[in-house]
Amino acid sequence: MSDFPTNWGRWGDGDELGAVNLITDEVRARGAAEARTGITVSIARVTTPFPLTGGPMASTSAATTAVQTAMLFTGFGAPAMAEVMIVTTHHPEVTHLDAMGHWIEGGRVYPGVDAADSSGPTGVRHGAADVYADGILTRGVLLDLAPGGRLDPGHPVTGADLDAAAARAGIEVLPGDALVVRGGWSLINAGGQALPGMTLDAVRWMHEHGISVYAGDIGDARPPLPGEVPGALHRFALGRLAIPLIDAADPEELAKVCARLGRWTFQFVIAAPRIAGTTGLPVNPLAVF
Amino acid sequence: MSDFPTNWGRWGDGDELGAVNLITDEVRARGAAEARTGITVSIARVTTPFPLTGGPMASTSAATTAVQTAMLFTGFGAPAMAEVMIVTTHHPEVTHLDAMGHWIEGGRVYPGVDAADSSGPTGVRHGAADVYADGILTRGVLLDLAPGGRLDPGHPVTGADLDAAAARAGIEVLPGDALVVRGGWSLINAGGQALPGMTLDAVRWMHEHGISVYAGDIGDARPPLPGEVPGALHRFALGRLAIPLIDAADPEELAKVCARLGRWTFQFVIAAPRIAGTTGLPVNPLAVF
Amino acid sequence: MSDFPTNWGRWGDGDELGAVNLITDEVRARGAAEARTGITVSIARVTTPFPLTGGPMASTSAATTAVQTAMLFTGFGAPAMAEVMIVTTHHPEVTHLDAMGHWIEGGRVYPGVDAADSSGPTGVRHGAADVYADGILTRGVLLDLAPGGRLDPGHPVTGADLDAAAARAGIEVLPGDALVVRGGWSLINAGGQALPGMTLDAVRWMHEHGISVYAGDIGDARPPLPGEVPGALHRFALGRLAIPLIDAADPEELAKVCARLGRWTFQFVIAAPRIAGTTGLPVNPLAVF
Amino acid sequence: MSDFPTNWGRWGDGDELGAVNLITDEVRARGAAEARTGITVSIARVTTPFPLTGGPMASTSAATTAVQTAMLFTGFGAPAMAEVMIVTTHHPEVTHLDAMGHWIEGGRVYPGVDAADSSGPTGVRHGAADVYADGILTRGVLLDLAPGGRLDPGHPVTGADLDAAAARAGIEVLPGDALVVRGGWSLINAGGQALPGMTLDAVRWMHEHGISVYAGDIGDARPPLPGEVPGALHRFALGRLAIPLIDAADPEELAKVCARLGRWTFQFVIAAPRIAGTTGLPVNPLAVF
C-alpha cells in the first residue's frame, strides 16, 4: 500500500480539518447555489432510543444501544419534561461523523500526531469533531449504486461503480463535493447476509475526484471482501486521505427525492452539536434543494 | 393572561410542529436566497464535556454536567478511539432545542394533548424533537440588543427593545423568520448577577411578527423579573405560541460577523441529530451568509 | 383495606428504617450465633452487564439493561483497567433493595411524609437506602415453597403456604427474622407464563411473624393474581408495613445448601454500597452458616 | 524488585481469587467467632451522588463524579420513585474493591494471563470482581496508625508502623486476616497536602503476615513518596501478591468503636453486588462485633 496516495502533510503538520480544506470559498458558493427552494431532506437514520429503565416501567430487553434515554423526574407537578441521553456515537444505529481523532494508523493520527498526544482518558486533543463547529457546507452529489433496489450481498464497490452511477445521473463530480452513496444496505438491515463495502479502488476514486466528505449506507464490508484490503474506507479514506466519514447515513429518502426532482446535486449541510473533544458526534446531514 | 394569544388549534388538533408551520415554501426560499457565499457561523455555545472518570485518571471535580464523555477501551492496539457521551439536554451549558413535548401547561401539551398521552417513562410520544428531522431552514435575523456590550443586569427585554434593534440593523422582521437575540448574557457567565430576561411583552411581539423559532442568549430571567410574568418565554412562547426555543444559544461570533458584513439576515439552519422520542436535542444552529 | 395493619407511626414520625427496627440487640445476637463456620452463599442473581458499545466493538443488540458497563480508555500502555457502570437499580435482572423512599401511598411516603418532601429531582431526602449503611444483619430463614421444583404458574402464595414450608423445615419464624422465600420463578425465567405472587394474606402473615426484611424470587405477580389485591407485596409489605424488600433475589443455590446441611436458618447479611440519597441499591444478600 | 516475593502461580495458573485463597475453613470460622453481638460498623465512605440534571432543576456545578444519579420519571401519579445510577467505580470518592483484572503488570494480569485475554471492550473475562460473589468473610484487624489524629503529610508507612499499631492494640495478625488500616487521610480531605502512602516495606509485611484482603484510608501516596517505589500497593500488593484492595475505605467510625470496645478484631464482611465482568465494584465493608 506504500504507493497509495496520502494527504498527511498536504495542509500542514497541525491540520485537523483534512479534506474539508478542499471546500474553498468557490466550492462553498457552488454549494449555496444549489439551495434554491430551501426544501430539505434528512440523510440520517431514525435512531429510536432505548429507555434506560426496566421492569414494571418498561421492557426488559433492548434492541439496540446506540442511544438510550431516561425521562427525568422533574418534580411533582413540574411544568417541564426532560431526559438524559446516553449516546454511543460510533454505533451503526446512529448516523455520526468520524473525525480525524477517531483513527490511528501506525500509532499516529492524521497528519502524523502521536496517538498519545491526540487521545487521553479525558478526551481528544487533536482532530476532535468540533473542529467542524461552523458546519460543513458544500455541494453534495448522490451516487445511487442500485436505483430502486439494493446491491448484491458482498458486492465490492469500485470506482467503476461510482462512475456508472454518475453517468446515470448525468453529473460530474467536482473537487470539494460531498459524496453521498446509496447501496440499499446497513449493518442493521443486513439480516446476517454479507454486507457490500467500499474497495481501495473506490477510495482511490474519491481521492482523484477530490471528495471532501463521505456519507453513505455503504461502508467497510462485514465480513471483509475476499481479495480486498479490509477496512479500506476507514483506513485509507479517513486514516490516510483525511476525508471525514458520515457513518450509517440513510439516503433512502434522498434517493426518492432526487429521482422525483431529476436532480442529483444539492447543498449538503452538516451541523454537529458543538461538543468539544470527541472522536465523533451524531449528526443529521441535510440535503437542501 | 386569558387574553394572551394562543396557537393551540391553529394548525390542527394533532400538530407537533407549532410555529414552524409558518415556514412556507415562500419563506423557505427566502431563507435559501440569503445563502450566497456559503460562509457559515455557529450560533452554539462551545460545550466542553467533563470526563466520566476520576482519581488517578482525572480530576475529582466537575465544572458542569451538561455533557460527559468516557473514552472507551477499544482493545489493545486497536486502530480506533471512541467514547460514550452522556447528555443532559436541558442544561444551560449546551445549546439545545426545546420541542413541544418539553412543556406542560395545565396538564396539557400543545395543542391540547393530555400530558400523560405525550410523555411516559419510556419517552415522548407527542411533540418530540425529531418532528424537525428534515431540519428547520428559514431566514434568520439577528437583533443585537446591546451592540459591543451587554444588557444591564436584570433588564426586562420588551417589544420596544426588539424594535429598536431591528431599526438599528435596518431590517424588517417577517413572518416565518427565525429570531436570534443577543444580549451578552448567559446563566454561565452571569457571575451571580441577575440575568436579563424576555418579558411577556416581547413574547407578544414575537407573535405579532410571526416568529417561527427563537434562539438567543437571553431566555427567562433568573431570578424572575420584578413585576413581570415569570417564565414568559417558556410558558408563553413555547407553551402557548408553540415557538420552538433554542436555549443557551451563543450569538457572540454571529454579531461580529453581521457587523463586519453589514448584514443582519442570513439563512438559519437547524439540523438536530435524528434521535426519536425526546423533549429536546442538542443543536448547532448555523447562520449561512 | 382500611383494616389492614399499618406500621406508620409505630417507630416515630421521622423513622426511616421501618421494620428493621425489629432487629433488636437480642435478635442481632441470635443472627450472629447462626454463623458458625463462616461458609457463605449468595442470594443474588448473577447480573451480566451489557457493554455500552456497539458495532465493530460489540454486538448491536442487548438482552437486558439492568447494568451496563463501558471499559474505559485509561491511556496507552496504562497499567490499570477500569470501567463506568450504569445501573437501573429497580430492574428485575439485578438483585436490589427497595427502601422506604421507593414507595408512595396516597401521596405520602412511610411513615406519612409528603412525597414532595421525600423525593426531588436531585434525589431522595427521606427513606433513602443508605439509612441501612451499617448493614442489615439478623437471622435469616429460608421457606422453600416448592422444594426441588417450582410453584405452579400464577400460584397465589398465602400464609398457609409459608406455614407449610416452615413445618417442612422444622423451624419457627421469629420476630426480627429476615424472610427468604423460594418459589423457583423470576420475571426473567417466566417465559411468558403467569408469575406466581404474594397475596395480601401472605403479607399479613409477615406482619404477624414480625418479619424485618423480605428477600425472594417471588414478588408481586405479573399479571396480577385474579381475585387478589394487586401489588400486595409492594403496596402493603413495603408501603404500609415498612418492610424493606430485596427484589429479584435468587435463592436457588441457598436452597441446595440448606437441603444439604439440613439447616434452614443462617445469618442474613445485607451490605449495600454506601451511596446516599437513592430509592434503592443493588445488593448481594449473603447467608452465613 | 526481582527478589520481591510473588504469588503468581501459588494457587494455580488459572486462579482468580488471589490471596483470598488464604481464607481457609479454619480462618473463616475464626472470623465467624468474632461476631458475637451482631453489632456492625461500616468501613465505607459516604458517597453523595451528584444529580445528572442541571439548570432550572439543579446546580450547574459538580463536586465529584464518583456516582451520579438521575431520578426517573415513572409516570404521572405513579406510586414508585426510581433512579438510574452512573458509577465510576475506581474513583477516590467511593469505597470500592479492586479485583485482579484491574491491574496489568508487564502486559499480564495475575497469575500471568495475557492482558488481551483478560480485558476486552466488552468487559473482563479473567479476574473480574464477581469471583468474590459469595462474599469475603474472615477475621478483620484494625491497625490505627495515628489514634485520635492523622499521620504526618507524606508519611511513608512501613512494616514497623504496622507492628507498632498491632502492639498498641495488643493483637497478633494471623494468616488469612483482612487488614484494615487507618491513617486519617483521603484524597478528598488532603486539601492539597502530600498524602501518606504504603511503602514496599509495608507490602512485604503484608506478605509475611499472610494478609488476604486490604482495606484502608491509606493507599498509594500522591505525589509518590521520595525514595520509595511508586504505586507499591497497587503494583505489588494487588499486582504481584494478588491481595484484593478496598480502595478509599473510611475506618474513622470503626476506630472509635474499636477504642470504645477495647477490641481491635472483628468479623470482616464484603458483599459486593453480584455484577459480572468488571474490574472492580463499589462495596460497603462491614465490621461485625
Question: Domain residues for B238?
Answer: 18-46+90-288
- Residue B24 maps to which CATH number? 3.50.30.50
* D3 belongs to a structural domain: no
Which residues in chain D are closer than 8 Å to C133, comparing Cβ atoms?
42, 44, 46, 284
Per-residue pLDDT, C54: 52
Q: Phi and psi at residue A109, in whole multiples of 5°?
A: -110, 145
Question: What is residue A21's predicted lDDT score, i.e. its pLDDT?
Answer: 98
Question: Where does the pLDDT of residue D65 fall: very low under 50, low under 70, confident under 90, or very high at 90 and above?
Answer: low
For residue D19, pLDDT beyond 80: yes
Computed over its alpha carbons, how large is the radius of gyration of chain C? 19
Same-domain check for residues D42 and D65: no
Cα gap C173→C160, rounded to integer Å? 13
In terms of phi and psi (left: phi > 0; alpha: psi -120 to 50; beta: otherwise), the region of D41 is beta
Going by pLDDT thresholds of 50, 70 and 90, the confidence category of residue A74 is: confident
Looking at the structure, tell me whether residues B160 and B32 fall in a common domain.
yes
- Contact: B52, D65; criterion CB under 8 Å: yes
Q: What grid cell was written down for D157?
A: 508507612
Q: Between residues B49 and C76, which one has the greater pLDDT?
A: C76
Confidence of residue D1 (pLDDT cuts 50, 70, 90): low
What pLDDT score was predicted for residue C70?
Answer: 81
Asked whether C86 and C93 are in contact (CB, 8 A), the reply is no
Query: In chain A, what residues touch D70 (CB-CB under 8 Å)?
Result: 70, 72, 84
Model pLDDT, residue C58: 46
CB A243 within 8 Å of CB A202: no
Residues of chain C in Cβ contact (below 8 Å) with chain B: 52-53, 56-57, 70-75, 80-82, 84
Other CB atoms closer than 10 Å to residue D37's CB: what's the count?
14
What does pLDDT average to over chain A? 92
Do A75 and A153 share a structural domain? Answer: no
Beta strands in A134-204 (DSSP E): 136-144, 156-157, 178-182, 197-198
3-state secondary structure of D197: strand
Domain presence at residue D111: yes
The answer to whether residue A5 is domain-embedded is: no
- Is residue C12, in this structure, part of any structural domain at all? no
Please check whether residue A163 lies inside any domain of the structure.
yes
Residue whose grid cell is 434528512: A42
User: Do residues B112 and B177 share a domain?
Assistant: yes
Residue B166 domain-assigned (yes or no): yes
User: Is residue C268 in some structural domain?
Assistant: yes
Chain A interface disruption, residue of B86, B88, B288, B289, most A CBs within 10 A: B288
pLDDT value of position B48: 82
* Residue A58: closest C-alpha in chain D: D74
User: Residue A95: pLDDT above 80?
Assistant: yes
D72 and D189 co-located in one domain: no
Q: Which residues in B have their CB inside 8 Å of a CB on C? A: 52-53, 56-57, 70-75, 80-82, 84
Which pLDDT band, with edges at 50, 70 and 90, does A192 fall under? confident
For residue A63, the model assigns a pLDDT of 46
Prediction pTM value? 0.92
D180-239 pLDDT, tens digit per residue, is: 999 999 877 788 899 999 999 999 999 999 999 999 999 999 899 999 999 999 999 999
Q: How far apart are CA A70 and CA B123, in angstroms?
A: 8
- Residues 6 or more apart from C242 whose CB is under 8 A from it? C7, C8, C15, C17, C18, C19, C100, C110, C111
Å between B76 CA and nearest CA of chain C? 8
> What backbone phi and psi angles, to 5 degrees, belong to A255?
-60, -40
Distance in Å, alpha carbon of D70 to nearest chain A alpha carbon:
7
Average pLDDT in the D153-166 region?
98
Partner residue facing A120 (CB), from C52, C64, C75: C75
| Domain-embedded: residue D152 | yes
Q: ipTM score here?
A: 0.94
pLDDT at residue C279, rounded to an integer: 96
Cβ within 8 Å, pair C269-D271: yes
Chain B adjacent subunits, 3+ CB pairs under 8 A: A, C, D
Query: How close, in Å, is residue C190 to chain A by CA atoms?
Result: 12
- Each residue's pLDDT, cut to its tens digit, for chain B (289 residues) gives 568 999 999 999 999 999 999 999 999 999 999 999 988 999 999 888 777 655 444 444 444 567 777 888 888 888 999 888 889 898 888 999 999 999 999 999 999 999 999 998 888 999 999 999 999 999 999 999 999 999 999 999 999 999 999 999 999 999 999 999 999 998 777 888 999 999 999 999 999 999 999 999 999 998 999 999 999 999 999 999 999 999 999 999 999 999 999 999 999 999 999 999 999 999 999 999 9
The answer on A65 and A94 residing in a single domain is: no
| pLDDT value of position B54 | 52
Between B and C, how many CB-CB pairs are < 8 A?
Answer: 37
| CB contacts, 8 Å: A276 with chain B | 46-49
Of A168-182, D55-69, D119-133, which one has max mean pLDDT? A168-182
CB-CB: which of C48, C105, C124 is closest to D79?
A: C105
- Enumerate the β-bridge partners of residue A72: D72
Q: Record the cell numbers describing residue C208, joined without a space.
A: 404477624
> What does the pLDDT read at residue A121?
85
Encoded amino acid at D281, one letter: L
Contacts of A73 in chain D (CB under 8 A): 71-74, 81
Percent of chain A as helix, strand, coil, to the nearest 5: 25, 25, 50
List chains adjacent to chain C, taking adjacency as at least 3 C-beta pairs closer than 8 Å. Answer: A, B, D
Q: Omega into C244 within 30° of 0, i.e. cis?
A: no
Residue C62: per-residue pLDDT: 47
How far apart are the CA of C216 and the nearest CA of chain A, in angstroms? 16
Asked if D186 and D215 sit in the same domain, the reply is yes
Residues D60 and D144 placed together within one structural domain of the fold: no
Contact yes or no for B276 and A46 at CB 8 A: yes
Q: How many angstroms separate the CA atoms of C37 and D30, rounded?
A: 8
Mean pLDDT of chain C, nearest integer: 92
Same-domain check for residues C66 and C121: no
Q: Indicate yes or no: CB of B73 within 8 angstroms of CB of C75.
A: no
Closest Cα in chain C to A82 = C121
Residue of C nearest to A70 (CA): C88
Asked whether the bond before C49 is cis by omega within 30 degrees of 0, the reply is no
D54 and D136 inside one domain? no
Q: How many domains does chain A have?
A: 2
Question: Is residue A109 located within the same domain as residue A250?
Answer: yes
Does residue C57 register a pLDDT over 90? no
Contact B76 D121 (CB under 8 A): no
Per-residue confidence (pLDDT) for residue B52, from 0 to 100: 67
C141, C255 contact by CB (below 8 A): no
How confident is the model over A227-258, as pLDDT tens digits? Answer: 999 999 999 999 999 999 999 999 999 999 99
Give yes or no: residues B71 and B188 share one domain: no
For testing contact with chain B, the best of A28, A256, A284, A286 (most B CBs within 10 A) = A284
- Confidence band for D177, pLDDT divided at 50, 70 and 90: very high
Is there a contact between A188 and C60 if contact means CB atoms under 8 Å apart? yes
For residues B208 and D69, give the distance between their C-alpha atoms in angstroms, rounded to a whole number. Answer: 43
